[in-house]
Amino acid sequence: MTADYERLSFLDSSFLAMESRSTHFHVAGLLIFEAAPLRREDGGIDIARIASFVESRLHLVPRYRQRLALVPFERHPVWVDDEHFNVDYHIRHSSLPKPGTVEQLKLLMGRLCSQQLDRSKPLWELHVVEGLAHDRFAIISKIHHAMIDGISGVDLMAVLLNLAPTADVTPAPPFEPRPAPSGAELVLRETARRAGRAAAALRSVQTLSEDVQSIALEGARRVRAMRHSLGSGWLTPATKTPLNGVVGPNRRFETLQTPLADIKEIKNSLGGTVNDVILATVAGGVRSFLVDERGFDVAGVDFRVMAPVSVRSPSQRGTLGNQVAMWLAALPVGEADPAARLAAVSAETEKLKRTDQALGAASLVRMSSGAPATLVSLASRLATGARPFNMTVTNVPGPQFPFYLLESALLEQYPLVPLWHGHGVGIALFSYNGSVSWGFNADYDVMYDLGEFVGAIEAAFKELLAVARGAEVPVGGARQPSREAATRTAVPKQRPPMGTGAAKPGAAKPAAAKQPAAKSSGTKSSGAKKSAARSSAAKSSTAKSSGAKKSAAKSSAAKSSAARKPAAKSSAARSSAAKSSAARKLAARSSAAKSRGTKSSGAKKPATKSSAAKSSGTESSASKQPAAKSSAKRRPPTK
């Protein structure tokens, strides 16, 4: 049997080159099924039957039984058949403690996706997880990005899933692996391949037909598209935000579901496409999260997302390998109005379509297809280190009718997109049977509050839906304070002016301790309100004025001022007391009471009572005892 292999494309090999201990490039999915049809008599899930069914379909996807090999010297990866393939290694069985919760399932998903795939074997795993509550079980799939893109993923899912329930498991055809070529054979065959490509290119030039002009026009279009693609931001870094940090190997995973009908209602009411609505929702959620949860000012932020776009032709449908280009779209996270965000996103995606940026990105990838593996690795790492975008958002349209694994119906499916270097979170969406399922893959440390991020995305979607239905929604939504409020959260709060009543009791120290002469203004502070209330009874009895009982705080302030300056300062005491916040509502009545209290106090006790009042007033603001008792202990009243 002739040894055979298949060379990886530039894009596929770049996914291998960018992978590191902390940056994993496998895509994954969380699929939830009904359990009853696949339950054994003992209550467990029939894992052996599932494994037999998967093995019976593997001949339809030969990549699942191939491993990686490297061309000597060049170090470019190629696919070869795995002569030691064992399906039991790739299909694994796990169980949650019954009754297993969705939170436990997401925790398991994050842990499994924190581990790299073994490159010495075919780059895929299926984990069958039983024990999920409400009579369900789950399958967690992991496939390396070098094997599969979004559109191919739908084709592979169609291989394993059926349109109707079935109990048939056909026997698997025998697998006869082709022998892997030796290192010397790989070098010789790759040299011959390069020579053959050069000869074919020369023949193509010699046999050019009369349509040279159309070829030139197509070439000019591609050059223009590549110029627009490079000018969209690939060569400049995006603004660093709290979503961008040092990524470790550990992952968190969260989910969200939105009705597809609601998304279509938004686009039909406000304009744009389904993808525009999704990107506008992400923009609103990112804005809310950065402002409310992280206190980050979004004014002037250049926030970009990378959105993969399929460039697979109809003739290539069903083939393996990546046929995708990458859009670089700026999201208006600085815009508070949800309808204006959607309009800005629609204008951005329309510009990307008008300038053929998907074609430009695909042309750049095609031009690099012959680059050596060393340059591929270097270019990939330089591109990720430059951080030309902040986040990946990929939306894969799926079937709008139910699928089945044997007899078990697929209930929900949540995708996972790998994290690039310096990206704390990535979002993948998959539409299925009337719902859009969101999968959030996040770094464990950078996105410690992933639940709040998902909540912000959900709130932004509800806000956009409310606007589409004509509701009056405050600009920015309930979760999004104004830019001034967001700025104030970063500034330490200042104590309000004394006398405004805004400070908490006991927050301000009385001024009498350092400045006895300023006691009357000190009664306006919040810290003196309690002491003024306590001393009012004793001072009212001394003044023997019925009007002073209704304005105790003002009468106390006036008396202490009158005691210090009986005659000359009476008008100043009245002016100072009028400023007190405690008697603003009774200004006219307290003014009359003060005049009577001042005359009686000055006439009966010109000096002795004045010192006693001063002593009582000074201690009442610092002591918890009533002022009258404190004064009586220090100096008995004279008869």
pLDDT at res. 581: 45
* pLDDT tens per residue across span 202-233: 555 554 454 444 445 455 555 555 554 555 55
Tokens of 401: 């009718």
- Whether the per-residue pLDDT at 52 is higher than 90: the answer is yes
Per cent of the chain over pLDDT 90 is 45
pLDDT at res. 233: 56
Angle at 425 between CA 134 and CA 427, to 5 degrees: 60
- Whether the per-residue pLDDT at 37 is higher than 80: the answer is yes
- Whether the per-residue pLDDT at 576 is higher than 70: the answer is no
Other Cβ atoms closer than 10 A to 469? 12
Per cent of the chain over pLDDT 70 is 59
Shortest CA distance to 7 belongs to which of 150, 197, 142, 152? 197
pLDDT at res. 4: 85
Q: pLDDT-derived band of residue 540, with 50, 70 and 90 as boundaries?
A: very low
Mean pLDDT of 555-576: 41
Output Rg (C-alpha) for the chain, integer angstroms: 38
pLDDT at res. 402: 95
Q: pLDDT-derived band of residue 632, with 50, 70 and 90 as boundaries?
A: very low
**Residue 612 near residue 555 (C-beta atoms within 8 A):** no
Which residue would you say has higher pLDDT here, 359 or 118? 118
Mean pLDDT of 109-123: 96
- Whether the per-residue pLDDT at 180 is higher than 50: the answer is yes
* pLDDT tens per residue across span 297-319: 999 999 999 988 755 444 444 44
Which range scores top for mean pLDDT: 69-78, 255-264, 545-554?
Answer: 255-264
Kindly list the structural domains of the chain, giving each domain's residue range(s) and its CATH number in brackets, ordered by start: 6-187 (3.30.559.10), 221-406+413-488 (3.30.559.30), 519-634 (no CATH)
- pTM score over 0.75: no
pLDDT at res. 346: 96
pLDDT averaged over the chain? 73
Mean pLDDT of 593-598: 45
* pLDDT tens per residue across span 376-434: 444 444 455 567 899 999 998 888 999 999 999 999 999 999 999 899 999 999 999 99
pLDDT at res. 370: 44
pLDDT at res. 326: 75
- Whether the per-residue pLDDT at 522 is higher than 70: the answer is no
**Residue 443 near residue 247 (C-beta atoms within 8 A):** yes
CA distances for 425 relative to 251, 282, 330, 527, angstroms: 9, 12, 17, 49
List all residues 6 or more positions away from 597 whose beta carbon is below 8 Å from its beta carbon.
543, 545, 547, 548, 555, 558, 559, 562
For residue 74, the SS3 value is coil
* pLDDT tens per residue across span 322-348: 445 678 899 999 999 999 999 999 999
Q: pLDDT-derived band of residue 156, with 50, 70 and 90 as boundaries?
A: low
